[in-house]
Amino acid sequence: MEAIGAGAWDALAARQPFQSYQWYAFGERAMADCLPVYIILSLDGRPAARATFWLVREEPLPVPSLAQFLLRPLIRRWPLLICRSPLSNSSGLILPELPLRRTALDTILSAAHDEARKFKASFLIFDFLEQDQLHWDDWPSRFTHFQIPGPGTCMEIRWQSFDEYLNQLSKNERKHYKRTRKEIERMGLRVNRQVSVSDVETAEALAHNVERRYRNAPNPWLHGMFENLGMVNGTWLTATIGNRLVGSELVLHDGNAQIHGALGLEKDIPYTYLALGYEGIRLAIEKKMRLLRWGSGAYDLKRRLGFELENNNNALIAGRDFCTRLAIKLAR
């Protein structure tokens, strides 16, 4: 990032969430094991298009445990070259409007193919694509579409206060919130905000609890996210009973959007997830965010709270050689 400079970088970001210089500097530090490969196109001396790739050898793939076990050594040997914004479940592709879009994408794809060959990458991947991006007729036929399981959720923030948000919920949901608050108070469960992670070891252990419970692949960048929280606009939400940390979550901001991540929960302690979630909504309203993104899972609860499914759970994948292209066909 330092080699490019904030001015040139943010000229293209145009306040799009999780595309800023500050966010990518955080990504480079937190994902220190991944080589960033940035392809930037200029027109008349000014940045006009961008694709941000990462050479990834420890990707938490959304596949069954056996498949993860078999794929892990292969990906370490022949890594993935993935176009994405780091740690945000967002695309890393910024292109101009037509008619320049086709030329820009063709140029980026040609350069990306050269980089994949240079680094002996197994697959070239564009993930977290929106539906309209997916259906561009500019994509070459060698790319295969995969739908990522477990789409994220999001909510547009339209309220000036948390009370205003509560008042627009259904009558049943308002009653549920009041009952939940009473139980949280009865348990002595307290939610606090911190600007840094004071207990990285416990935060990681709690996050791994959640990964094991839902059989998710471990997130290899948890430690880097916790250690470098101060590089971005972020808050560490903690849930404690007495002096015991029983839950935590990272709440990260960039542009006018907020995203939740690194959820950690101790087993068999009810209401912790909801307590953290309500505080995250309150925080987004206080900070006047436009969009709140709360990840996948717990879809019924999130729907009742006003969240909708995101439509960016799409990936386009191309193999580098005959064997990887055959693997894509078999997986498809």
Domain layout of the chain by residue ranges: 6-150+312-331, 153-309
CA dihedral 290, 236, 261, 213 (to 10 degrees): -140
What's the average model confidence in pLDDT over 277-290?
A: 98
Q: What is the pLDDT of residue 254?
A: 97
User: Which residues are 102's β-sheet partners?
Assistant: none
Reported as half-sphere exposure (CB side, CA atoms, 13 A), residue 180 has a value of: 17
Buried b (16+ CB within 10 A) or exposed e, 273-305: bbbbbbbbbbbbbeeebebbbbbbeeeebbeeb
Q: What percent of the chain has pLDDT over 90?
A: 83
The domain defined by 6-150+312-331 folds into Aminopeptidase (3.40.630)
Instruction: State pLDDT tens for residues 75-106.
Output: 999 999 999 999 999 999 999 999 999 999 99
Of 215, 236, 219, the residue nearest 227 (C-alpha): 236
pLDDT digits (tens, 9 = 90+) for 183-212: 999 999 999 999 999 999 999 999 999 999
Nearest to 247 by CA among 184, 196, 189, 298: 189
Residue 225's closest CA among 28, 81, 56?
28
Tell me whether domains 6-150+312-331 and 153-309 share a fold: yes
Domain range 153-309, CATH class: alpha beta
Task: Mean pLDDT check: name the lowest of 4-8, 24-28, 30-34, 237-241.
Answer: 4-8
Per-residue pLDDT tens over the stretch 207-249? 999 999 988 889 999 999 999 999 999 999 999 999 999 999 9
Enter the pTM of the model: 0.94
pLDDT (0 to 100) of residue 21: 96
